[in-house]
Amino acid sequence: MAAICDNDTVVIDGAHGASIRWKSFYYVAATTNLSWKGWFATLLMEYQFAILVTAVALFGVRIIAGGFLLLLLWMYLWL
């Protein structure tokens, strides 16, 4: 068990009297840029409504295969 208490006190179970050197902790590596997969997934989620409207429009002009594929893509993103 571990806990952080008042006055910057850290309680670690089973570490009686252990000293902690705060300066020697490593920084956690983190990235702020999206990969191309993350960017593309975000783009698809943002334009779900446009995909649905395009699928319905393709059904309206009798392009059934294209409308069906876009409708399947929209359903996959929605779920």
- Return the pLDDT at 2: 73
Which range of residues forms the domain containing residue 20?
2-78
Q: Supply the mean pLDDT for the chain.
A: 83
**pTM for the complete prediction?**
0.54
Return d(Cα 33, Cα 36) in angstroms, integer: 9
The total domain count for the chain is: 1
pLDDT in tens, 25-42: 677 677 778 889 989 989
Of 27 and 49, more confident: 49
Three-state DSSP state, 28: coil
What is the average pLDDT across 44-50?
A: 93
- Return the pLDDT at 4: 72
Residue whose entry in the numeric block shows the structure tokens 């990235």: 31
For residue 11, give the DSSP letter.
Answer: E
Listed range (1-5, 33-37, 47-51, 68-72) with the worst mean pLDDT: 1-5
User: Which amino acid belongs to residue 13?
Assistant: D
Instruction: Calculate the dihedral angle through the C-alpha atoms of 38, 44, 48, 52, rounding to the nearest 10 degrees.
Output: -150
Phi, psi dihedral angles at 11 (to 5 degrees): -105, 120
